[in-house]
Every structure is written in C-alpha cells, then in structure tokens.
Amino acid sequence: MERYAPTAKDLASRDVVSRAMTMEIREGRGVGKNKDHIFLHLDHLPPELLAERLPGISETAAIFAGVDVTKEPIPVLPTVHYNMGGIATNHVGEVVVPNVDGLPQPGKLYPDKIVPGLCLRVGARCQPSGCQLTAGSGRVWPCLRAAHC
C-alpha cells in the first residue's frame, strides 16, 4: 500500500485499497492461474488474535476458499462495499423505468433540496421549460441553471 497511500499505508480507506487492488491486478501483478486476484496475508498475526478479533473472516476464508488464515493467504479481489440501491438510469440521468423518476412527490422529503442537486449535475436534461429529469414520468422541475441551458 505504500505505493498508493504513502502516509496511511495499511490504514488506507476502503476506496483507496480497492482502487490499489484493481490497479495491481490490471497491471498484471495479480496471483493465481489467471492472475485475477491478490493475496491477503494474515499469517503474521497470532492465531489467538485472529480467533478473537476476526472470527468471521477466518470462517469465511475456510468455507469459501478452503484457507486456514493462520497458515495461508486469502485470495481476494476488490468488490462493492455498500450497495445503496437506487433506480436504473441511462447515461444522461434519465430513469429507464416507465412512470418512475425516483424523486419524492412535491412537498415530501424536502424536494427543494434534492432537485437542485439533480438539475445542477452534468447530464441532466436542462431545457427552457425546466429540468427534464426522466424519460419515465415526464415530470419537469424548474431549472436552476438557466444561463447554462
């Protein structure tokens, strides 16, 4: 991790670690038959510490990779940390499901705070009549960047 996070090193945030893993694999430094993953070494940690602090990781590695983390590295690859759901959109932010726009009804959940962010984002369909946010519901919101339409 020194190459990717010289100050934080092994304490780098998850996004930095995932990006570093991806770059290592893409640049041909992966391991395994297809060089498509990397190894996470925990064998330097005392077995008692692993049992106490990381029992889930030890169990998961044993079940899915057949690895004893006290003696062998775990094959890993970067993945999603959080999936916050959402609604499918196309490349310009239009919802692809008919009659759905993913925004609350007017007056609910402070839409005046949500919509400006959507209208200001690059790719929103900003037109003189308003910000056309979706192909689904066809709802039009006031455009807050009229000078850029």
- Which residue numbers are catalytic? 14
Choose among 53, 50, 104: nearest CA to 74.
50
Q: What 3-state class would DSSP assign to 69?
A: coil
Cα gap 88→97, rounded to integer Å: 7
CA 49: distance to chain centroid?
A: 30
- Cβ–Cβ < 8 Å for 32, 65: no
Q: Which residues are within 8 A (CB) of 148 and not within 5 positions of it... i.e. 6 or more apart?
A: 126
- 106 residue type, one letter: P
Cα gap 46→49, rounded to integer Å: 5
